[in-house]
Structure 1
Amino acid sequence: MNHPIFLPFYLGFLAWLCLFSVKAEDPYKFFTMEVTYGQINPLGVPQRGILINGRFPGPTIDCVTNDNVIVNVINKLDEPFLITCYTFVFLFFFVSWDQDSNGIKQRKTSWQDGVLGTNCPIPPNSNWTYQMQMKDQIGSFSYFPSTLMHRAAGGYGGINIYARAVIFVPYLKPVEQFTLLVSDWWKSDHKVLQQTLDSGKPLPMADALLINGHPSLKSFTVLGGQLYMFRVSNVALTTSINFRIQGHTMTLVETEGSHTLQETYESLDLHVGQSASFLVRMSASPKDYFIVASTRFTKPILTATSILHYDGSNTKASLPLPTAPTYHIHWSMKQARTIRWNLTANAARPNPQGSYHYGTIPVTRTIVLANSEENINGKLRYAVNQVSYVNPETPLKIADFYNISGVFKLNSTKDTPHSIPATLGTSVLGFTLHDYVEIIFQNNENTTQSWHLDGSDFWPVGFGSGQWDTTKRRRFYNLNDATTRHTVQVYPKSWSAILVSLDNKGMWNLRSAIWPRQYLGQQLYIKVWNDEQSYRTEYGIPDNALRCGQAPLK
C-alpha cells in the first residue's frame, strides 16, 4: 500500500541523514616562513637580526580553532634551525580524538614539537613543512626559534587563535585587537652571546626592552568610547615584565588559552613565556597615553613604551609614566593568586571549563624538581636535580622509536633533589599514559624562574615561599579554579606546584623558559607511554620526518 503523503517526510529525513553522516573537513590555511638574516636597528645601531619573511618581529599567525594550518619553513641561515612555540596544546603535531567520562580529550604526538629532543633541525638552505590543527585553544600565543641562541636575534612572532562562530566567548566583542610582543634585547650579536655562554660565563643583563621590536614610540590608534583587546606576550629571553596602560584599567579575559574571571588590573606581571589578553575601554580624555612594559626584579629596571593614540587628538602623552609595582616578591605572588579560571565559560568546545574537576583526581606520582647554578668542568652550567641536560646527536623521540641504545637512560634523574655533585647527562623521566602528576618546582636561588611544559596544559595550584613539604603546603592549593597554563613562574627562594594529567603520549620537553638557563642545561624530557600501538593514542613517524644522528635513512 502506497502512502504518498509520507514521501516528502521520507525524502527530508534522508537529506538530513546524509547531511549529518558526511563529515566536512575543517578549513586549511597555508603559511610560508622564509628565515633569513637581515639588518635591523632596534636600538638605533645596525645589527644582524633573524627575519621571518623579511620582518622583525615575524608575521602574526591568525587562525581559528579547528583550522588545519600548514607552515613551510625555509631555512636560509648558515646554521640548522627549528621553530617552536608557547602554546599549551603544542603547535606542531598530528591529532586524533578519544572520548572519556570527562568529555573529549585530545591525543597529540611530539613528532613535530619543534625542539631538539624530538626533531632533527632543518639544515641550512632547505625547508620543512609543519602540519598542525588548532584544537581546544582560544587565545594569545607566540612562536620563536628553539635552536642555539637564535632567539636572541629575533625570529619570533604572535599566534592568535580565535573561536569558531558556533563557540560563545564570555566577553564583549572588541572593535579591534592589537598584538604586543615584549622582548629583552642585546646590542651584541646572537653568536657573541652564544660564545659567552659556551665559554662558561653568564649572559650579561639585556641592554633594553622592546615592544614589537621598538623601545619606544610605536603608536596604536583607537576611537574614544570603544572596546579594544590587547594580546600581550612575554617573549623575552631572561626577564619577567610588568605591563600597564597610562590612564586606563585592563580587564583580564584570557591567559594561555583559558578564559579567566574578569578581574580588573592597573598592571599585570607576565613572566617569561606567558601571554594574556586584556579588554580596555577607551573612556579617558582624548589624547595620547603611554603603553608601558618594564622589567621585574632587575636593577636597573628596563622600560619600553608605545603610544595609545586617540583618533583626532593632537595632545602628546605626558610624563610621568604610570607607576610600576614595588620590587617585593609578595606583591607579584599575591597578584598571581587572583588569576582564576572562569568555570562557567566554555573553552574551544561547548564543555564548561570547570567540567574537568582537576582538584578531585588522585595524584599517582609527585616529582620535586630543584634548579641550581653549577660549575661543571670549570664552566657555568644549570641543572635540575643535579643533572645538567646535554642534547644528544640523535633526538630522543627518534632514538626511542627505533630502539637506538646509548642515547638516554630512562629515569636517570631522581624524582627529588639529592645532595650529590652535579653532572652532565640526558635526563628523561618515564610516566605511564594517563598518570596524574604533581610537580613541585623548588627554587633555592635568588632569581625568578619560569618553567614550560610542552604537549600538555597544567594547573598551577600553589605558590609559596621557602621549602615545599607535603604536610604544610598542600592545604594552600587552589583545587577549584586555577587556570590551565603551559608556563609557570617560581619566585626567588620559593616553590610553585602544578597538577598535570599526562594524557598525551610522546616525548615532551620540560624546560626553563629563561633561555640561557635552558641552553646551559636546565631542562629535561618526560616520556609518556603505554604499550598500546594505536592511532587512538599516538600517530607513527610522519612521512616527512627529518633524520639525523643515528637515525636510519628512509
Structure 2
Amino acid sequence: MVSTGPLSMLPPLLLCISLLLAFCSAEDPFVFYDFEVSYITASPLGVEQQVIAINGKFPGPTMNVTTNNNVVVNVRNKLDEDLLMHWSGIQMRKNSWQDGVLGTNCPIPSKWNWTYQFQVKDQIGSFFYFPSLHFQRAAGGFGGITVNNREIIPIPFDTPYGDITIMIGDWYTRNHTALRKTLDDGKSLGMPDGVLINGKGPYRYNDSLVPDGIDYETITVHPGKTYRIRVSNVGISTSLNFRIQSHNLLLAETEGSYTVQQNYTSLDIHVGQTYSFLLTTDQNASSDYYIVASARFVNETTWQRVTGVAILKYTNSKGKAHGHLPDPPQDQYDKTYSMNQARSIRWNVTASGARPNPQGSFRYGSINVTELYVIRNKPPMKIDGKQRTSINGISFSNPKTPIRLADWFKVKGVYKLDFPDKPLTGAPKIETSVINGSFRGFMEIILQNNDTKVHTYHLSGYAFFVVGMDYGEWTENSRGTYNKWDGIARTTAQVYPGAWTAILISLDNVGIWNLRTENLDAWYLGQETYLRVVNPEVTNKTELPIPDNALFCGALQKMQKPQEISSGTLLGNAPKLIAAVVAVAISALISLF
C-alpha cells in the first residue's frame, strides 16, 4: 500500500535537506569569527594606558584557517572613531573589496557592524591583521593569521609538536591619538618607550632598566620537541632582532612561502614582516631561557631600555633565567651584515605550496618585464605647509570616495592615474595619484630608500619576488646581480637606508591594491599609493562584484542605508543561501503536520 498522506513527503524532504547539506560540505568550508573591537585599559610597560583589544584581548586572537577556506569576520566597532581591519598578506584573490584599506573600503563608523568575507585561495603561511586607520595599530588591535596546508598537501618538514604565535613591536606609553597629534604638529615621535612581546613588557633581567611589577610573557614548552614559532613585527617603525638564548632558529617559511631551511642564531625582523621558525627544545632545563626582541640600527646604549624580553620555560625547568641577554649581531662597523642575512633567505622551490605543483614551477626569471617603476622615498619634509612624506615626489592624499567604489559607480575626479614611473624632479606635491598596472603584465619595482632608517614596503593583493638588494643607486646594470631562480616570494620587503630593493610582480589579480611603507609614521604622513589592475573585459571570473553589504561614503554617501542592528555572527552570501533553503525545507516539512 502506497502512503499518500503528509508523512509520505518526509523521506523526500529529508533526502533533499541531506543532499543539500552534503553538497554544501563538498564546497570549500566556511570559517566564522566575531571581532568586537573596543578599548581596554592595560599597563604593558607599567604605565596605565588605553589600548585596542579584540574580544577583550590584547593582542587579539589568532585566526586559524586552512587553504581555500571562506573566512567570514563580523567586526563590531566599539571604538569612538571609524575603523577598518586589514588582513596583511592575505591576497584577496579577485576581491580587493575586502582588503580593509581606504582605497577600497569606506570606514566602519563607530558603533556599527560590518562583515568581511574572503577566501584564502591557494595560500598558506603566517600573517597578521590590524586596524589600518587613524594610527590605531600603535594602540593594538592586531593578531596573528595562520593559514594551514590542506591535509592532502605535504609540508616540507615533520609536523611540529605545537604552534606558537608571537607578536613583537616597539611601543609608546602615549595613546594613538596623542601620537597622531604629534605627527600632525610636524614633530617626530621620538624613541619608543619599550618593545612588547605578545602585548607584555620585558622580564626583569636588569633591575635598573626594567621596573618591578611588569607583566611579561612566558612560553612553556616540553623538552625534546619541535615547535613552529610564527613571529610578526607589528610595531610602528623599529626593526627588531629576534633571538632565543642558546637555541637555533630554523627558518621554515615567511609570508606564504616555504624557505630553504637554514639555522639562525638571530634574525632581523623589520616592521610588518612575519617569519616562522622550527624551534627544537634540545637544551638542558637547568634554567629558563630569554626570548629577546631588541632594536636594530640605533645607538644601542641610548636604546638599551627599548628591548623586549620574554621567557622560554621548559616544563621541567629548575630555575629562572639569569645573566646577560644573548648578544645581538655585532655589526656596528659592517653595515652589510643584515643585508647579507636577508639575501640568504631563499625560496624552497622543491616544496609544494598551497597546491600539489611545486612552488618552483613559476619561472619568474625567464619572464619579460613589461613595466618598470623606480620608486624613491625621502625623509619627511614640508609640503604645502605640512610635514609630509612622499614617494616619487607624491605625498598620497586619501580621497573621500574610495578608488574602487569610484570606478564601480563611475565617479569622476576622485583620483589621477598618473603616478610617475620615476622620481619627479620638481617640488613634491600632495595628490591622489595611482599606478596604472596592465592586467597580466609583469612589473618590476625598484624601491630606493633615501631616508635615514630602514623602510619595509608592502603590496596588498600579491606575493612578489624579492630578486635583489644592494647599497647605492640602482642602475640598469644592477639587474646583473638579481637572483633569477629562488628569490623569496613574500608580501613585504625591507629597504636599507641608502640602498635599493628590486621586486617582480605578476599582475594577475584584478583590483585596487595598496602599496605602502609599513613604517606607521611615514605611512600616516603620505608614503603610499595604489596599484590599479583592471581587466578590460568585464567578467566576474577575474573580479568579484561589489559585496551586498558595501558601505558608502564621500560622493556616494546618499546610497548608504541605516545600520541594520544584528547580533551574533553575520553569515556571508553562500551560507545565507544554504540557511535559507534549509529553513524553507524545514518550514515546509512542519507545515505538513
Q: In structure 1, which of residues 392, 395, 417 is the aligned counterpart of residue 399 of structure 2?
A: 392
Choose from 154, 160, 168 the match for 1:182: 168
Give the SS at the match of 2:177: helix
Aligned partner of 2:110 in structure 1 is 124
In the aligned structure 1, how far is the partner of 2:24 from the partner of 2:531?
Answer: 39
Tell me the secondary structure at the aligned position of residue 269 of structure 1.
strand
Equivalent of residue 201 in structure 2, options 207, 215, 219? 215
Q: Secondary structure at the residue paired with 1:410?
A: coil
Q: Could you list the runs of 5+ residues in structure 1 that have no partner in the other structure? A: 1-19, 94-106
Please list the CA deviations of residues 257-282 of structure 1 after superposition, one character each: whole Å capped at 9, or x if unmatched.
Answer: 10001011100111111101111111
Counterpart in the other structure of 2:288: 288
Match of 2:452 among 441, 446, 451: 446
Amino acid at match of 1:223: H
Q: Give the paired residue count.
A: 517
Matched with 1:419 is: 425
In structure 1, the residue matched to 2:238 is 239
Deviations 1:173-214 (A, max 9, x none): 111111000011101111111111111222222111000011
Which range is displaced more, 490-499 or 402-411?
A: 402-411
- Unaligned runs of 5+ residues in structure 2 are 1-21, 203-215, 561-593
* C-alpha displacement of 1:38: 1.1
Please say if 1:310 is aligned against 2:296: no
Q: Does 1:297 align with 2:297?
A: yes
- Residue equivalent to 1:271: 270
- The more displaced of 377-386 and 494-503 is 377-386
Q: Residue 83 of structure 2 contacts residue 108 of structure 2 at CA under 8 Å; is this kept in 1?
A: yes
Q: Percent identity?
A: 49
Q: Which amino acid aligns with 1:85?
A: W
* Greater strand share, structure number: 1
Quote the Cα distance in structure 2 between the aligned partners of 1:377 and 1:64: 48
2:366 paired with 1:360: yes
Distance 1:292 1:164 in 2: 33
Q: Which amino acid aligns with 1:79?
A: E
Query: In structure 2, how many angstroms separate the alpha carbons of the residues matched to 1:479 and 1:76?
Result: 48
Alpha-carbon distance in structure 1 between the residues aligned to 2:335 and 2:128? 26
Q: State the Cα distance separating 1:109 from its structure 2 match.
A: 2.0
- Flag the structure with larger Rg: 2
Match runs of 1:453-468 below 5 Å = 453-468=459-474
The alpha carbon displacement at 1:22 in A equals: 9.7
Residue-by-residue CA offset, 1:156-186 (whole Å, 9 max, x unaligned): 0011111111110001111111100001110
Residue 442 of structure 2 corresponds to residue 436 of structure 1: yes
In 2, the alpha carbon distance for the partners of 1:203 and 1:46 equals 19
Distance in 2 between residues matched to 1:209 and 1:408, nearest whole Å: 38
Secondary structure of the equivalent of 1:260?
strand
Cα separation, 2, equivalents of 1:133 and 1:22: 16
Q: Displacement, 1:149?
A: 1.1
Name the structure 2 match of 1:170: 156
Could you tell me which amino acid in structure 2 is paired with residue 308 of structure 1? L
Q: CA separation in 2, counterparts of 1:433 and 1:249?
A: 43
SS of equivalent residue, structure 1 residue 550: helix
Partner amino acid for 1:462? G
1:67-216 alignment, distance < 5 Å = 67-87=69-89, 89-90=90-91, 93=92, 107-216=93-202
- The alpha carbon displacement at 1:57 in A equals 0.6
Which among 377, 381, 384 is matched to residue 371 of structure 1? 377
Cα distance, 1:136 vs. partner?
2.1
Whether contact under 8 Å (1:344, 1:354) holds in the other structure is yes
After superposition, the CA RMSD in angstroms is 1.4
Q: Greater shift after overlay, 519-528 or 326-335?
A: 326-335
Deviations 1:119-174 (A, max 9, x none): 00000111000001122222111000100111111100011111111110001111
| Aligned-residue offset at 1:377 | 2.8
* Contact 1:374–1:422, Cα closer than 8 Å, also in 2: no
Task: Name the TM-score, length of structure 2 as normaliser.
Answer: 0.85
| 1:545 and 2:545 aligned | no
Question: Are the counterparts in 1 of residues 373 and 445 from structure 2 also a CA contact under 8 Å?
Answer: yes
Q: TM-score, normalised by structure 1?
A: 0.91
The 4+ residue runs of structure 1 with deviation greater than 4 A are 20-23
Q: Contact 2:384–2:429 at 8 Å: present in 1 too?
A: no
Give the helix-richer structure, 1 or 2.
Answer: 2
CA deviation profile, 1:17-39 (whole Å, cap 9, x unmatched) = xxx99991122111100011111
Query: Which residue, out of 474, 484, 495, partners 2:500?
Result: 495
Residue 66 of structure 1 aligns to which amino acid in structure 2?
A: N
